[in-house]
Homo-oligomer: A and B are copies of this chain.
Amino acid sequence: MKKHNFSPGPCILPQPVFEKASQAVLDFEGSGLSILEMSHRSKEFVAVMENARSLALEHLGLRNKGYTALFLQGGASTQFLMVAYNLLESKAAYLNTGTWASKAIKEAKLFGELVEVASSKDANFNYIPKDYAIPSDVDYFHCTSNNTIFGTQMKKLPLTDVPVVCDMSSDIFSRQMNFSKYSLIYAGAQKNMGPAGATLVVVKDDILGKVSRVIPSMMDYKVHMGKDSMFNTPPAFAVYVSMLTLEWLKDQGGIDGMEKVNNTKAELLYNEIDRNPLFVGFAANEDRSPMNATFNLTDEGAKDHFDSMWKAANINGLNGHRSVGGYRASMYNALPLSSVQVLVDVMQEAERTA
């Protein structure tokens, strides 16, 4: 029996994607070859890669606007490093909104001077700082659009003239944004886009080539761009499943259609968190993420009772991250509204039987 999967990532993907991917592992579109044994230089796989790159730009509204989409390896953690390698000549500004933002800062410090424009560390990252100034003499400003662990989301991009780099790992393709305001967007695939093992990088071509250091080939965006994202063997299966997921997203009405569903799911759950005296939300109300809802019990004595109930309801992945505790319901694009309803029902039943 299929679980209601609230896992924070790797996470649920659309069921039709699982089915197509499973079939392609046996035989890719009647080719007599598994997707796993196909040369990345075959015309079949080159078409997969091109389609995935093109769909990513299309969904973001960035086709023919001077951007290139790449599917790389190493996750956002490698992007912490590559961003600095490629863009940090002297000084950069970072907004610190959580564990991943802190890690991005740590890695970039090896390459130049860093200005932490603001941090919500004082309150265990339960809010997004808002009143801060971005120096005008920095090479770029870096932020994290959604903080998976803490359940917060940036609702607005601060005004700035410097290039903006954004880690959108946990909310890309989930909501409409003015993506053309960003010079570089990166995201590990394993939330709204595909399985672990691929990283999407969308980069505005004209921001590159401005640092004086020699960049190792695998760290150099221009090297990957020059080889159409196939400088070396790409993570072929992860790219293929990402392509399938981006095609599925199109069938859902793209980001616009998806955002409506995501808002409905988030409203349903947050309303219950606020209504139910057993629970209290962790993140500041105005910064709540529709992707990751973090909440705690008002009475820790109810823990065993509630835990046994959601497990019995076939729910998976609801435990909060160790740095927050409590619960985290991750409601990525592929999670159906019906799964959120199951969770809400369990929360109400827990209240009745507490």
Contact = CB atoms under 8 A, between A and B. Distances in A.
Given A25-B25, A78-B73, A235 B33 contact: no
Nearest to A195: B36
Contact of A196 (B9, B11, B216, B235): B235
Contacts of A8: 39
Interface in A1-19: 1-3, 5, 7-13, 18-19
Interface string A211-234: 000101111000000000001111
A236 B32 contact: no
Contact of A10 (B32, B194, B218, B233): B233
A225 B326 CA distance: 29
Given A10-B233, A22-B25, A236-B10, A81 B216 contact: yes
A87 interface: no
Interface string A188-208: 101000111110000000000
A190 B194 CA distance: 20
A316 interface: yes
Contact of A37 (B13, B77, B103): B13
B33 A3 contact: yes
A317 interface: yes
B39 A9 contact: yes
Among A7, A214, A218, A236, find the residue whose CB has the most chain B CB atoms closer than 10 A.
A218
A117 interface: no
A276 to B, nearest CB: 26
Copies of this chain, complex-wide, total 2
Contacts of A235: 73, 196-197, 235, 238
Q: Is the interface of A mostly helix, strand, loop or mixed?
A: loop
Interface residues of A, number: 63
Contacts of A12: 37
A339 B236 CA distance: 25
B13 A36 contact: yes
B232 A75 contact: yes
A316 B38 CA distance: 9
A32 B195 contact: no
A201 B281 CA distance: 43
- 5 shortest interchain CB distances as A-B pairs: A197-B235, A73-B73, A22-B25, A77-B232, A3-B32
25 contacts: A1-B32, A7-B37, A10-B236, A13-B34, A13-B36, A18-B34, A18-B36, A18-B37, A21-B36, A22-B23, A22-B26, A32-B316, A36-B241, A73-B74, A73-B75, A74-B78, A77-B217, A103-B217, A107-B218, A188-B233, A190-B233, A196-B234, A196-B235, A196-B237, A197-B197
